[in-house]
Chains A and B, each alone.
Chain A
Amino acid sequence: MISRRALAAAALLPSLGARAQSTPVVMGTWGGDYGDILRQAVDQTVAIPSGLEVVQEIAPAPTRKTKLLAERNARRGSMDVVGLSDVDMYELAQLGLFEPVNAPAVPSLSRVIPSLRRPYAVPHIYSARVILYNPNLVTTPPKSYADLWDPKYRNRVGLSDLLYAQYVETAAIVGGGGPSNFEPAWAKLREWKSLGARVYSSNEQLAAALKSEEVWLTVMWLARGFMWKQSGIPLNHVVPEEGATSITYEMAVPKNARNPAGGWRYVNAMLDTRGQTAFAARMGYVPTVTDAPLPPELARQISLTEAQQAKLRTPDYAYQASMSARVLDFWNKEFKG
């Protein structure tokens, strides 16, 4: 005879099984538009229907980076997948924080642009650093980064405090250096400061300053410029003659992820064309997979021409990581100080 307790246990088993199967994947992500698109175009469209349960851990990139570092010796970390910029990702990868990319677990990796692949991370979306200007106020469009040092733009160049490392690299390029040599940047940044380049606390405050015409030009991601244009700020973009620098947002699975298998499945879901197209249409980032369909008009607005692509610079991750403390010091003490 079956006891009541055995019956109760039998009734409980399927639900326990279901729970064990759906251990949630914790995705460490940005909030705002990125988090929203991820939820709609990846979680609800691809990941959840394939049986994954997803929880977003939302924080700005520096916070998540610090959290990963703080728990690097912990057996169980708090994130199963983390999204970061390529520069941040490299910095943490060299500290041994991530699992090597598990290619068999990410079948869509074969559709990824080969030059964007890394051994420690999978590229999600990318864009390039360009010049944005207000066409109503800047009648002759600038052609190069160097044009932003023209005294006629005194007090009219706005910068975002968050992108300080990007401006150091921009100044290095103008000064004759480049991604692997920041030395010429210091003099150029001092000159920019004397020309009244203004620093804003956040990208949003920079956008507000561009909108109110307090500043007329900036150096920014093409994708961000696309979003600002969509929101009604009068802006055009110019790919600098010196060559744009790429920014790739990548995904990695930390070594101490609680659910690494789920993590890799989620990474694969993020490469699905539906999500990739949604990020392009709403945020202006270019898909990292070769087969995501983009309407020609959208492609024209967010991607580079072949000639521009040929001059695209990739950051020198190792050099940038070795310079990060010095770059921050210079920015805080001399440029803003």
Chain B
Amino acid sequence: MAALVLPAGLLVLLLLVAPMAMLFRISLNEYSPTQLMLEALQPGNYLRAIADPYYQAVMGTTMTVAFSCTLLCLIIGFPAAYWLARMDSKRKSLAVILTVFPLLVGNVVRSAGWMALLGRDGAINATLRGLGIISEPLQLLYTQGAVIIGIVAVVAPYMILTLSAVIEGIPRNIEEAAGNLGAPPLTVFRRVVLPLALPGVVAGSVLVFILCMNAYATPVLLGGPQFKMMAPAVYDQFVKGTNWPFGAALAFILLLVTLGLTVLGSALLGRRYKR
């Protein structure tokens, strides 16, 4: 039976582990403007990234955006997922297609749409000015808010579909039994549905959080030149600065922080589930 995982395992080894190992090796090299990098085994790139207040701030922004997006996805995703899960099968397939519809549009195209909406001369500002509510255009684009809205629009379907799959597995009659025993709807949700849906909450949050931590196109396009998250910072080092060792170190720091927070979050929520 173990042989069944062999093809997938080999593929992962070849396409993921090997490049990651190479990247890790690069992260220990020294940057050289004239020779690209010098062979070395030193932690200098990691130490510099960790000690630099600029990259601390970039990581802080990345985590704030990722947490905010995950929470927002959970808040708006749960009711939608519940509605989807309890829908009759005829309409459900249409609703699922509508849910995944945003994923059919590329990130860049979707961001262009947001830019048309949020820009200085965009639809929102034009409407507000037309109605005489504002005289000067509002700065909606190139803000953290714009990035959060943009990313939520990308990742919300992942949360909704994951949650809805788990909620579907919660028998309806448990909710009805709680109701019959006198629990108001909010208590049914808090004491019955939510605890039973917790595995979905964990899975959906982990998935969404990872996607948000690594977001690239949306922060670049909606955050503008001043806004920095980790993935664009890694890109800058590789592509603009040609500083591969430092870029590789930043990439690994992003990977480790994402992994650490994901494990921690799952463990905390998991413990609550066991109770």
Interface residues, chain A, with chain B CB atoms under 8 Å away: 62-63, 65-66, 69, 91, 94-95, 161, 199-201, 212, 214, 321-325, 328-329, 332-333, 336-337
Contact = CB atoms under 8 A, between A and B. Distances in A.
Contact of A328 (B34, B224, B241): B241
A332 B220 contact: no
Given A212-B121, A321-B34, A322-B34, A66 B239 contact: yes
Nearest to A336: B226
A325 B54 CA distance: 15
B225 A201 contact: yes
Nearest to A97: B36
A64 to B, nearest CB: 10
B120 A199 contact: no
B242 interface: yes
Interface in B218-257: 220-221, 224-226, 228, 233, 236, 238-244, 246
Interface of B: 31, 33-36, 54, 57, 120-121, 220-221, 224-226, 228, 233, 236, 238-244, 246
B224 A201 contact: yes
A89 B159 CA distance: 46
Contacts of A95: 34-36
A161 B225 contact: yes
A166 to B, nearest CB: 13
Contact of A69 (B33, B240, B242): B242
B179 to A, nearest CB: 53
Given A62-B239, A212-B121, A328-B240, A94 B225 contact: no
Contacts of A321: 33-34
Top-6 shortest CB links A-B: A161-B225, A62-B239, A328-B241, A333-B54, A199-B225, A322-B33
A337 B233 CA distance: 12
Nearest to B244: A69
A92 to B, nearest CB: 9
A212 B36 CA distance: 42
26 contacts: A65-B242, A66-B238, A69-B36, A69-B244, A161-B225, A199-B225, A199-B226, A201-B220, A212-B120, A214-B120, A321-B33, A321-B34, A322-B33, A324-B242, A325-B33, A325-B241, A325-B243, A325-B246, A328-B236, A328-B240, A332-B228, A332-B233, A336-B225, A337-B54, A337-B57, A337-B228
